[in-house]
Structure 1
C-alpha cells in the first residue's frame, strides 16, 4: 500500500479536531465529484436502451446496453477497489471516472459510424463510470465515526441527485446539440457523460488530499502499534474483525435491490416509447426515478443510523414491491402512475443501497475494506447486468407488467434474509 508521511499521520492521529475537519472536507470533494458523476450516469440509463433499439432494429435486445455497462462496471468495481486499497481512494476513483468518460466518447463514435461492435465495447468501458460513481460513496466513510457511517454514505449519494436529475432532462437539448454536429440525437447524452465523468475524475485527483483511506489505515496501524507497545494505555475502540454474516446480509440486500431496480428501470423507456411517448416524457420519468434514487439519501442515512440497518432493509423490500405493483397496473396512457412507480422504485433502491452499504462497512476492517467493497460491488454490477439482460427478453416474451411484478416479488426475499441475520447475530465492534 502507498504510504503517508509519519508526520502527517501523527498530526491527524493526535488531533480529533483536524481529523473531523478533514472528514468534512473529504465529503465536500466527494460531493462535487458526485454531481458530475451523476450527470454521466444518467446518459446510459435514459437513452442506452433506445440507442440499442435504434441501431439493432429490435426491442428484444434493448436491455443489452444496461447489461453491458453493468457488466463492465463489474470488472471496473474489482479494479477500482483493489487500486484504492493499494494506492488510495484518490487514484482508484479518478482512474475509474476517466475510464468511464473514455467509454462514453466511444459510444458517441459508435453511433456516428453505426458500428454495433464498437457500441458494445464502448458500453463495457462506460460501465467503469457507473462502478466508480457507486464506489465513491465509500470514500466518505473512511474517516467517519461508526455512528455516522450511513449518514456519510447518504451525503455522498445525495449530491449525485443534482447531476443525475439534470442529465435525463437534458436529453432533448443534448440531442439537438448532437444533431447540429451531425451526430445521432440519441448519442447526445453520451457527449455530456464523457465530459461529466472526466471532470469528476479531475476533481478527485487534484483535491482528494490527503487520501482518506490511506490516512485512516495509517492511523489505525499506528494505534495498533501503540497498543502493543503500551498495553495499559487507553486507545480508540478497535476496528471490527470480518463479520461474515454482516457481509453476506449487506451484499444480499444490495444485490436483490439492484436486480429489481435495473430490470424495471431499463424497460420503462422502451415501454413508454412503444405507447407513443416522446424523449422529453421519457426524460421526465427517468429524471424523477433517479431523483428518488439519490435525493432521499440524507434522510435515509439518518434513519439507517437511528432506526438500524435491518428495519431499513425490510423497508427497501416493501417499497420495491409497491413499485412493481404500481408499474404493472399503470394504464398505457398514465404518465402519473408511471412517475409514481419509478419514484417508488428509486426510493426502494435507495433504502437498500444505504442500509446494505452500512452493513458492509460495519462488518469489514479498514485494512481490507476497499478490496472487499470492490468485490461486493462486482456482485452488485453482475446483478444489474442480469436484470438488464433479462428485462428485454421477459418483456418481449410476456409484458412490461409481468416484468414489474416479478421484480417486486423478487425484492421480498430481503425480508427472510434480514430476519435470519438477527438470529444469534455476532456482536460487532465499532469505531468511535
Structure 2
C-alpha cells in the first residue's frame, strides 16, 4: 500500500471510529432498559425481553438489505440512510412509552435493529482501503469507538431516564434519536476508496455465494462469530432482568451493562496486535474460553460482584472472539466478493443472535439465571475444538481455499 493509500485508509478509519462511538451507543440503551420497559408495559412476564429480542431480530433482518443498499448507492449513502432508521427508532420507542403501548415500543426497538445493521458493517468498511497489517488492526481501531459508546449509552440512561416527568425512560430513547442525528455530519466525512483497474473495467463479482459458504475456513469463521456473539447476547439480554430480580437496583443494572460494554470494546487497543502476533484463530479461541470462565463466575453467586465480574469477562471474551472471527472472514474472500461474503456472515450471526435473545427471555422466566449460564459450556466446546485445530495449522491459506 502506498503512503497516499495508507493515509486515505487511516482517515476513513478515524471517521468510522467516531461514527461507531455514536452508533454503538444505542444498543446499550435498548439492552439496559428494554426488559425493564417490557416489565412496565407487558402483562405477560415471558414477554418482558421481547423488545430486546426484536432489536436483535431487526438487526438480523436488516443485514442483507443493508449490504444490498450499500452495493447500490455506496457505503456513505447507505450509512446516512441508516441514521434515518436510528432517529425514527428512538422517536417511536419514546412514543410507545409515553402512550403506554408495548406494541409501539417494540416497533421502535425493531427499527433500531435496522440502524444497528449498518453500524455493524463499519468494521468491514474500515478494511476497504487497508492492506497488510493495517487491515487486521483496522477492525480493532474502529471497535475502539465502541469504548466511547460504552460510556455514552449507559450514562445517558442514568442522566435522562427521568428527564420527562411522569414517564420514566422516555428521555433515554429521545437521546437515542439524538445520537443518530449527531452521526450524520460525521458520516458525511467518509470517502470512497479509489476504484481499482478491475472495478473500472468489467465488474468482477467473484465466486458464487454458495461456493464461499462451503469453504471450511469461512464456515469456521462464521461459526466462531455466531457462538461468540450469540452467547454474549444470550447472557446480556437476561442479565439486567436477573439483577433487578435478585434485589439489585435499576442503576446497578445499568452500570453492570456499562462495565460489560466497556469490557467489550476496551481490549480493542490490543486485539489487532495480538492477532498479528499470535494469529486470528488463537485470539478467537481465547475469547471463547473467557466466555466460559464468565459463566463460572456467574454460577458462583448472586451478589453484585458476581454479576459484574461475569459481565466484564463476557465482554472481553466477546471482543477477542468476535473481532478474531471477523478478521478470519476477511481472509476468506476477495475484494469483489466482500459484499456477499460479509453480508452472509452478518445475516447468519445476527439471525442466531435474534434467536438467542428470544430464547433468553423465555428461559430466564422458566428456569432462571443459573440455567442460562450452564448452557454456555456445551456451545463453547462445540466450536473450540475445530478452532484450536485450525490454529495449529502453520501454512497460510489463500481466500480461494
Cα offset, 1:302, TM superposition: 1.4
1-structure distance, mates of 2:267, 2:231:
19
Asked if residue 338 in structure 1 is aligned to residue 321 in structure 2, the reply is: no
Q: Number of aligned pairs?
A: 390
- Which of 84, 101, 104 aligns to 1:118? It is 104
Distance change in 2, residues 1:144/1:112 (3 Å): same
1:115-152: per-residue Cα shift (whole Å, max 9, x none)?
22222222211111222221111111111113232210
- What pairs up with 1:381-396 in 2 under 5 angstroms? 381-396=350-365
- Which of 199, 203, 221 aligns to 2:198? It is 221
1:219-271: per-residue Cα shift (whole Å, max 9, x none)?
2516999xxxxxxxxxxxxxxx9582222111111111122111111111111
- The answer to whether the 8 Å contact 1:172/1:279 transfers is no
Task: Give the TM-score normalised by the residue count of structure 1.
Answer: 0.85
SS at match of 1:185: coil
Correspondence for 1:413: 382
- What pairs up with 1:149-298 in 2 under 5 angstroms? 149-179=135-165, 182=166, 184-204=167-187, 206-209=188-191, 211-212=192-193, 215=194, 218-219=195-196, 221=198, 244-298=215-269
- The answer to whether the 8 Å contact 2:89/2:109 transfers is yes
Cα offset, 1:355, TM superposition: 0.7
Unaligned runs of 5+ in 2: 203-210
1-structure distance, mates of 2:245, 2:26:
26
Task: Give the TM-score normalised by the residue count of structure 2.
Answer: 0.91
2-structure distance, mates of 1:307, 1:220:
34
2-structure distance, mates of 1:355, 1:193:
29
- The answer to whether the 8 Å contact 1:85/1:368 transfers is no
SS at match of 2:32: helix
Bigger mean CA deviation after superposition, 119-128 or 106-115? 119-128
SS at match of 1:142: coil
RMSD (Å), alpha carbons: 2.2
- The answer to whether the 8 Å contact 2:225/2:349 transfers is yes
Correspondence for 2:39: 53
- What pairs up with 1:299-338 in 2 under 5 angstroms? 299-331=270-302, 334-338=303-307
Bigger mean CA deviation after superposition, 366-375 or 25-34? 366-375
- The answer to whether the 8 Å contact 1:50/1:270 transfers is yes
- The answer to whether the 8 Å contact 1:41/1:164 transfers is no
- The answer to whether the 8 Å contact 1:141/1:152 transfers is yes
SS at match of 2:385: helix
Asked if residue 348 in structure 1 is aligned to residue 335 in structure 2, the reply is: no
- The answer to whether the 8 Å contact 2:279/2:391 transfers is no
